[in-house]
Amino acid sequence: MSHPRVRLRNMRSERRYRYRLYPTRGQQRQLARTFGCARVVYNDAVALRRNLWEQGGVKVGYGELDRAVITDAKKTPERVWLSEVSTVALQQAVRDAHRAYVNWWQHGAKPPRMRRKHGRQAFRLTQRGFRVRGAGDGSDRARVHLAKVGWVKVAWSRPLPSPPTSVTIVREPDGRFYASFVCAVEQRPEGPAGSPGAGIDVGLHHLAVIVNADGSVEKVNNPRHLRAAERKLARAQRALARKVGAKKGEKASANYRKQRQAVAVLHRNVRDLRADHLRKLARRLIHENQVVAVEQLNVEGLARTRMARSIHDAAWATLHRYLQEAAELHPDRHVVKVDARGTSRRCSRCGCDNGPKPLSVRTWTCGCCRALQDRDGNAARNILIAAGLAEIENACGPDMRPTQRHAGDADGEEAGTRRGDHRMCAVAQ
Ligand SMILES: [Zn+2]
């Protein structure tokens, strides 16, 4: 269950720490050169491999690839400018291309594609290529030294937990620069949890619906400021669609480029607000619960057509990742993924399959036990049950066990009505 961004290694996990960079104009030019060279080397490596593969399934190793697209290429007039940037960055780009091919050959991933000149740009340096200064001491000496770029100003918004093993330098589409360091962090116990477990479901009208093992339900929405920012972004994107973009062989209009920049800035704003909200939610859930149960994400099912839906799914995927990351810091915290098929059809009280429900149906009454079920709360409770953190109430059997209070109670459902329903349940069965 390890996530690619957090690799477990002897009770230590690796994690990313991202900081904003403030390069000078000269440094920006040198960074742009490095992004460009790393991209060219990556693409050369992909093209070389592709050609050799098409010429009869030849596979070349990393060493040969490195020599061909870096060392030998530097001696040619077409690629002589590769010498102007850090070799470490180029080697890491070739390593990425190599890994992309291995993933394709061995793990069934998609074949590697060429990297593009537009959008997010990145290159990576290992320990040989960078040094940090004033990390977290609040001094104005805060800098990171990047090979062939120099000391770049950095905002250490939080201290680095340990000496970083690598750094990825990024230029986002909005023009901002960031350094993302990989650091090892020690695991430490989080201590006693308030609750043994919680089941979390992606709500139809909520970001998340949380059902605690004691039966209480909490519905989490996106905060108001995030929703406002999302609306603003949607408006800006519609405005961009109306402006004239670049046609073949022409430059995009000045208005279009201006609007594109505005969209990128709003996009960053929304992304940062959302990440902040989700990270806080994940940390709270991990702090409060020993086990957090979530449904197994169906990645193919995530490619949905409706915009609102896809944004929601993306947020859900991000929450998963943050939960995983937060749990991996503590040996006494766990995230359990359960197969969530049928969670919306099954009654979480008696286990009856009530068949598919159109999305418009928010509440329904179970055909077996007559329990009034709230769509979202019921699904989250089923996830809790699937993870073994709660039991089906088995209200119909003669050996009625005392079970936890129903989540429906929190929604204002009358307990008295339900007691009456028990009898009907016995008849129905
Ligand atoms: Zn039922």
Q: Is the pLDDT of residue 8 over 50?
A: no
Q: Can you give the residue ranges of every domain in the chain?
A: 8-186, 198-334
Which residues have a catalytic role annotated?
Answer: 201, 295, 376
Q: pLDDT (tens digit, 9 = 90+) per residue, 389-410?
A: 888 765 444 333 333 333 333 3
Calculate what percentage of the chain has a pLDDT beyond 70. Answer: 82
3-state secondary structure of 391: coil
Counted residue by residue, the chain has a size of 429
Q: Are 219 and 206 in contact (CB under 8 A)?
A: yes
Distance (angstroms) between ligand 1 centre and the Cα of 367 equals 6
3-state secondary structure of 209: strand
Residues contacting 386, CB < 8 A, separation 6+:
293, 338, 339, 340, 343
Q: What's the first-to-final CA gap in the chain, in angstroms?
A: 40
* pTM of this prediction exceeds 0.75: no
Distance (angstroms) between ligand 1 centre and the Cα of 215 equals 16
Confidence grade of residue 304 (pLDDT, cut at 50, 70, 90): very low
CB atoms within 10 A of CB 133: 14
Alpha-carbon gap, residue 341 to 382, rounded angstroms: 10
Whose CA is closest to 44, among 71, 24, 18, 26?
71
Confidence grade of residue 419 (pLDDT, cut at 50, 70, 90): very low
Distance (angstroms) between ligand 1 centre and the Cα of 420 equals 13
Confidence grade of residue 302 (pLDDT, cut at 50, 70, 90): very low
Distance (angstroms) between ligand 1 centre and the Cα of 350 equals 4
Q: pLDDT (tens digit, 9 = 90+) per residue, 80-96?
A: 999 999 999 999 999 99
The region of weakest confidence among 21-35, 155-169, 186-200, 303-317 is: 303-317
Confidence grade of residue 152 (pLDDT, cut at 50, 70, 90): very high
| pLDDT at residue 308, rounded to an integer | 59
Distance (angstroms) between ligand 1 centre and the Cα of 366 equals 5
| pLDDT at residue 137, rounded to an integer | 65
What the block records as the tokens of 26 is: 């000269």
Q: pLDDT (tens digit, 9 = 90+) per residue, 230-287?
A: 999 999 999 998 887 666 667 778 888 899 889 999 999 998 899 999 999 999 999 9
Distance (angstroms) between ligand 1 centre and the Cα of 338 equals 21
| pLDDT at residue 262, rounded to an integer | 92
Q: Position of tokens 């800006």?
A: 236
Alpha-carbon gap, residue 256 to 390, rounded angstroms: 55
Distance (angstroms) between ligand 1 centre and the Cα of 211 equals 17
Q: pLDDT (tens digit, 9 = 90+) per residue, 167-190?
A: 999 999 889 999 999 998 888 888
Distance (angstroms) between ligand 1 centre and the Cα of 381 equals 13
What the block records as the tokens of 292 is: 């957090």
Q: pLDDT (tens digit, 9 = 90+) per residue, 376-386?
A: 889 899 999 98
Q: Is the pLDDT of residue 210 over 90?
A: yes
Q: Position of tokens 């002589």?
A: 80
Q: Is the pLDDT of residue 306 over 80?
A: no
The region of weakest confidence among 114-123, 247-256, 296-305 is: 296-305
The average pLDDT across 50-60 equals 82
Alpha-carbon gap, residue 369 to 418, rounded angstroms: 9
Q: Are 20 and 177 in contact (CB under 8 A)?
A: yes
What the block records as the tokens of 73 is: 């290429």
**Strand-pair category, 289-295 with 334-338:** parallel
